[in-house]
Structure formats: structure tokens, C-alpha cells
Structure 1
Amino acid sequence: MILVTGATGTIGSEVVRQLAARGEKVRALSRDPAGAQVPSGVETAPGHHRDRASVEAAMTGAEAAFLVGVFGPDDAEHDRGLVAAARAAGVRRIVKLSAIGTGDPRLGAGDPDVGGFGTWHLHGEEAVRASGLEWTILRPSNFASNTLSWAQSVRDGTPALNMMGAGKQGVVDPRDIAEIAVAALLDPRHSGRTYTLTGPETLSAHEQAAVLGEVLGRPVALQDLSPEERREQLLAAGLGEVYADGLVIAARFIQDGGNDVVTEDVREVLGREARTYREWAVDHREAFGVS
């Protein structure tokens, strides 16, 4: 049995799908098990990463677990709690979804007063490495699917908001991240490894918009935001000041070229090239109103 936390999220849902397609026994953790859309044969269990008891109960009888526990700067204790729950339940192998830049001092790591993005997954990673279990950590770069936030603007013909300026990132397809998670959940040869996952090239938001426009056959316009405007947008979206400030630091880091990185980890694990952003855009063009 493999437990997948964050089972209805961008990566978790794809991990569930790929495991089920391989015939593995899967249990999906969801706050709404009745409403969770999972493949036939997949178990569902009620719970949330912030509810330690529910996670531990869902892990009972599982041999491996995919851990998704950080959604903001206040989740460090809950991230550690996922690891503790896995140990208490007798799970043998864990795969943690982290993020590129974790531990980077330019993203606030090492300075508790900054609370930057580089600290958000750090405590969870430390707990994973100290767990005594078989572990793998995945540090993906910017998800290709993040541009789904542009979909409504593209359909309306209005500029989508660009938080990242001209900074380039190694945009990675969530399907590749999930495929590597599945490999790590099933194969002990990935134990003790930290993989930094990127696509095959780095792209700025405007370069992504150009690719997407070519795929859709219509221009995709972006509106660049200043740092002050970024913070205002984040606060207006309901994020707290620490959360918003951490994301502003991350945006500045990206704009200054800090995430202009391509690795070979996808090729190393999967034995093929990482999918391009263009491939993702072609496969998801219907989300932008093009069949």
C-alpha cells in the first residue's frame, strides 16, 4: 500500500493516477474523500496534513508514502509531523515534495527573521533526512501548470499578471515530477537522493506566453507587476504579510536570475529528456479555450 498525501493537488493527483495505472495499491488522503476524483480501485481516507491523527490513521498499513506538507511559511511543524506520522505508522519509504531553492541563503534560509521561501521546506527536509527511513526529496522548479492561472485572461483577451518580471526558470512538467515520485516510491535505488527537477530549458514568463500563443494561435499578453504591486496582489488574495513578503523575495530572486537553472536529474531518473513547456501547452490547450 502507498499513501499519497495532497492527493487531489497538482502533483499528488498525477502520482495517484500513475500508481493506479501500474496496478499498485494506493490510498489517497483527502479532506473530502467522498468528493475526491480518483481512479477506480484507489482507496480514499479522510485527513489533512495539519491533522496529525488523521494522517497517522491513513498511513496505517502503508509501506510507502508521498508527503506533501508545505503550503506556506506556517507549515514547518506540520511538515515535520508528516514524517513523524510515517515513522509511527511503520511506513518504510517516504518521498517528500520540496521546492527548488530550499536552503538557499538568498531566499532567506538561515535567517529566521526573514521567513523567506528558502526556509519553508527546510525543516521538513531535515526531518526526512533524520527519520531513519528510506527517503527521497524532490525539489522541482516552476511548474508548467502555473500558467493555468492565465487561462481566464487568455479566454477574455486581457493581459495576465506576471509576478516574475523577465527572470528565467527551468519550467518543469508536473507529469515528470509525478513520474519521478512514482519511481522513488517503488524503487529503493533512489533512497538517500535529493533531485532538483527542471525542464530542458529555462524560460521567462514572456517566453512562455510566446510559446503558449503559438500553440493557441492567438497572442497571450502579460502585465508586468512592480514589487509593490506584487505584494498588494498577494495581500488582496488573502495571504498574510509573512507569506506575501516571502513570495516577493522569491520573485526578486527569480527576476535577478537566481532560478535560471537546468539540471539533468529528470534524464538521470527517467532515462529520457524532460518534457518541454511547449509539450505541456499542446496537451493542455483546452484549458485556455482551444480544442
Structure 2
Amino acid sequence: MILVTGASGTVGRHVVQLLTEGGQRARAMTRNPSGYALPRGADVVRADFDDPESLRRAVTGVRTVFLLTAPAAPTPDHDLALLAAARSADVASVVKLSAIGTGERFGTATVGAWHQAAEDAVRASGLAWTMLRPSSFASNCLHWAGAIRAGQPVPDLTGDGEQGVIDPRDIAEVAVAALTDPAAHAGRTYTLTGPELLRVADQATQLAQVIGRPVGTADLPPDAARRQLLASGMPPAAVEATVVGSAWARAGHNATLTADVQTVLGRPPATFRSWARRHREAFTGTR
């Protein structure tokens, strides 16, 4: 049995689908089982990272865990709670979804400090482990959909900073490879990127070509981004993490491409344009 946390999210639902399609026993963990259409064949379990008893039930009989946490405010606490339950249940291995740049210093800040703490805990857990550090998700552009449909420019927090934007399905496929053959990937840290470096402006251009209408951008430097995010009600710790990560990328530190997707999957990573074509309807409102 493979437990997938974050099973209703962007990467997690792809992981569950790929596991079940491949004939693997997958247990999908979610706080609200009735709120999402998870793939048929998955063993769905309700659990909450803040409820230790629910975590103990979730890991019962589990061999391997896909560890994906997405708290409202950055904290390693959810990772630590799941790891404690996993050790008690004699889980053998864990695949942790982290992020590119984790642990790098940027000015007085540490990029992905909460991911670094969680990674350290995974390495010290006694479980076999694999770390996945993806670059910027192509699906982050879905936050632009409303503005694009309204003909408004999309916010650009990273300026001329280029990023190896990656299709979340590729992240999920690499995760499944590690989950189903832990020995082959144990002790590895994979930095996962798409095949090309893109600025936000480049993504906007490709989206415009796919949907057949202009997509403009509006530069949002760190101080302006901080003000807007705080005004939106985002928790201050999450705002700071977002601003630090965006400023780090704006300064050119995420201009990284790797061959890790090709190495694991035996094929090149998908392009941003192919992702945009699959999601065209989200930006146009029409099929």
C-alpha cells in the first residue's frame, strides 16, 4: 500500500491516478473525502496533519509514503507529524515533495526554510527516502485565468528572472517511479525542471498564442507584492516566503535546467506550451 498525502491537490491527484492505473494499491489521504472526485480504485482515507490519531489510521499497513504538505503558513510541523506516524507503523520509505532552491541563502533569508527543516527530518527518520525539488509549476498560471478572461494583465513577481517551468504531471510521474521502486531511487535528490527557461513574459506570450488573444503582464516588485498579498489576507509568514522566493527567482537564481526528468522517466519533460494547450479552456471559458 502506498499512501499519498495531498491527494486532492495539483500533484497528488496525478500521483493517485497514475498509481491506480498502474495496478498499484494507493491510499489517498484528504481532509474532505466527499469534496473531491478521486480516481476509482483508490482507498480514500480522511486524515488531518493536526490529528495524530487520524494519521495513525492513514499509515496502517502502508509500505511507502508520498509526503506532500501545503499548510496555509510555512511550517515543517505537518511533515514531522506524518513522519512520526510512519515510523510507528514501520513504513519503509518516503518520497518527499520539496522545492527547488531549498536551503539556499538569499540576503538575510533562507529560501524554503520550512522545506529544509522537513528534508532534514526525512533524512534523519530512518526511512529510505527520495527528495523531489521541482521548479515553478506550470499550473501556477491558473491563478491568472480570471484576469486573462477579463482582458487584464497578469502579475509578474519575477521580472526578468527565468525559471525551468515544469508540468505537474511530470513531477507526479517521477514521484510514482520513486514510490514503486524505492531501492532504485533511495538517497537521491532530484531537481525537476521543464525543458526551457522562461520568464513570466515568455509564459504570457505562449499562452496568448495558444488562446488566440493578447496576454499582458504587470511588473510587481517585492515591496508591491508584499503589500498586495498582505491586503489579500494571506498569512504574513506565507507572504514573506512568497516574496523571498519570488525575489530569489527575479535575481536570476532559478535559471536552472536539469536532466533529472529525462534520467528518471527516459523521456524529455513536457513543454509549457503543451501544458497550456491542455488547459486552454481555463483561460478562455470555452471549449
Calculate the TM-score normalised by the size of structure 1: 0.94
Give the one of 247, 250, 255 matched to 2:250.
255
Gaps of 5+ in 2: none
Matched to 1:117, the amino acid is V
Structure 1 residue 50, shift from structure 2 partner: 3.0
| Residues 70, 76 of structure 1: 8 Å contact kept | no
3-state SS of the aligned residue for 1:37?
coil
Cα distance between partner residues in 1 of 2:29 and 2:21: 18
Structure 1 residue 70, shift from structure 2 partner: 4.3
Alignment pair present for 1:159 and 2:153: yes
1:7-46 CA deviation, whole Å, 9 max, x = no partner? 0011101101111111111111111112221111211111
Give the one of 160, 179, 200 matched to 1:205.
200
Alignment pair present for 1:101 and 2:95: no
Cα distance between partner residues in 1 of 2:3 and 2:102: 24
Give the one of 112, 137, 142 matched to 1:118.
112
Matched to 1:52, the amino acid is P
| Residues 158, 221 of structure 2: 8 Å contact kept | no
Q: Which segment drifts farther, 139-148 or 54-63?
A: 54-63
The aligned length equals 285
**Corresponding residue for 1:25?**
25
Calculate the TM-score normalised by the size of structure 2: 0.95
Aligned residue runs from structure 1 range 30-179, under 5 A = 30-71=30-71, 74-106=74-106, 114=109, 116-179=110-173
**Corresponding residue for 1:221?**
216
1:119-150 CA deviation, whole Å, 9 max, x = no partner? 12011101111112111110000000000111
Cα distance between partner residues in 1 of 2:23 and 2:41: 9
Q: Which segment drifts farther, 267-276 or 83-92?
A: 83-92
**Corresponding residue for 1:282?**
277
Q: Which segment drifts farther, 6-15 or 161-170?
A: 161-170
Cα distance between partner residues in 2 of 1:121 and 1:247: 13
Residues 256/196 of structure 1: CA separation in 2 closer, same or farther (3 Å cut): same
Structure 1 residue 78, shift from structure 2 partner: 2.2
Cα distance between partner residues in 1 of 2:107 and 2:132: 18
Cα distance between partner residues in 1 of 2:139 and 2:70: 18
| Residues 73, 120 of structure 1: 8 Å contact kept | no
3-state SS of the aligned residue for 2:65?
strand
Residues 73/156 of structure 1: CA separation in 2 closer, same or farther (3 Å cut): closer
| Residues 107, 250 of structure 1: 8 Å contact kept | no
Gaps of 5+ in 1: 109-113
3-state SS of the aligned residue for 2:139?
helix
Structure 1 residue 62, shift from structure 2 partner: 0.8
Cα distance between partner residues in 1 of 2:197 and 2:72: 25
1:129-178 CA deviation, whole Å, 9 max, x = no partner? 11121111100000000001111111111112222222110000000000
| Residues 52, 81 of structure 1: 8 Å contact kept | yes
**Corresponding residue for 1:111?**
none
Cα distance between partner residues in 1 of 2:235 and 2:139: 24
| Residues 107, 118 of structure 1: 8 Å contact kept | no
3-state SS of the aligned residue for 1:126?
helix
Alignment pair present for 1:194 and 2:189: yes
| Structure 1 ranges of 4+ moved more than 3 A | 70-74
Residues 107/13 of structure 1: CA separation in 2 closer, same or farther (3 Å cut): farther
3-state SS of the aligned residue for 1:132?
coil
Matched to 1:11, the amino acid is V
